[in-house]
Structure 1
Amino acid sequence: MFTVRLAGFLPALLLCSATASGEDAVTVTPGDTVSLPCTALFENNDTAEFVVEWKKDGDPLCKNKIRKNNTAIYYCNRQFSINPETFGLIITGVNSSNAGLYNCTLTKLIPPPSEDTFSLLQVNVSPGLFLQQLNSSDVTCVELFCTLDGLRPEQVNFTWTKADEKLPHYHNTNMSSTLKLCKPDWWDGVTLTCQASYSHNFTVYRKNITLTCRNTGPENLSCCPTVHVLFFIIIAFIWILSYVFARTAVRSRVASKLRPAGLQHERRSGSQMITTSGLEER
């Protein structure tokens, strides 16, 4: 990674000259999560305060203000985040659009004086399959999206399989394919495979995904029968407790209303008995 260190406020021409002199390059794979390094020439201690900003081809991606155990996020585009310890840029689910020239600007605010460090890194995305699960409103179904990334558009033949079984229900476009499965055609732990045959160089690309309760989402209780049953047991238990408490409260209110009337009746009966006894003695 090419790095330039500046003290104070100097013209931005130095950054342009650094870009022209060359930069390091890395190659990443579609679908992966990667961390791009940001060279820090300053000591990161408990009292230091930094502002780190990442750009791609001159466009802002992410900017954070970082102090030990405290991070203020100014802005961060979806798919990107900044590691507060290393100042590196984390890219989740790499695709071909992530290729380009990345620039990390690290500004030391505390302790003074203010200093800047610029880091340049060229990111290339290798050809490959990108396989992901899409959000679905139907919790009994899953929808998968498979695309051949990093290659020029050509005729691609997609094939979906479950074990050795070919799955016929899918929709293809030029460089991508979508698969939708509903119960009982999928279950927890099943592995699905997307295969793409690229006609230009007759290369076959293959990617697997295993469906579990974790990657089908916590709302999909039908994925895990144990969780499903436990959920309804908890709901039933809460309903029973609510019913018992309500009945107890009603009985307490009725008893509190009847108790004074009973005491008054006893007192009246006692008075009548005393009066009758007095008459008999006379």
Structure 2
Amino acid sequence: MVSLQAACALYNVLTLFTTFTEAMKSIRAASGSSVHLPCPLPYNDADIVAANWTKDGSSNTLCIYRMEGRARPNIVSCKSRVNLTGHPPELYLTKLKISDAGIYTCKMSRIVPPPTEETIFKMRLYVEGSPVVSIKQVESNQSGCQWLLCQLEWLNPAEVNFTWSREGQRIPSNRSAGSLHLCKSDWNEGETFTCTISFNNTHLSNSITLNGTNGGK
């Protein structure tokens, strides 16, 4: 007699098959542009298929949708800047950021006809560009003080780490802070302050030299 545990294990084998593709496709796009991420559909038009897109390193699902034959996909949920185009549908990412680079996974699950069958595709997206760190000086509402604001186009401040240095010496600061508050006692005329932005093992920096018109000892 077959045990209940063995019967359940056999049922799972018969009702779910998962296939992983071997070669990982690489796609390159420029920051600020848009890109299609294909997910080959190994099923027939009569099948009912559910799709789930994710990005490695992120706990949030990019897009979930369901397809029935050649009908338009029924979108369950998709993140902002994410659309679907074509048949079979391709993920369409708009306004690319440098931080969009990474490995994307598309999981297709054929629900009808049974048994359920999953196919998993992975692809690597490279986002190319020449990002430039900019530093802006902004007056503070505190007399004799100012702010240095460090920014990098296409990147959300929450996605990077900031470090500040003065004449090559690191200044203790919040790694998530893209701003540095300076008062007259904090610097001398002609001193150079550098902001370094780090993300995905990439480090970019820019410097600014302060002059006497902004304060100083």
Q: State TM-score, norm by structure 2.
A: 0.50
Point out the structure with the larger strand share: 2
Point out the structure with the larger helix share: 1
Q: State TM-score, norm by structure 1.
A: 0.39
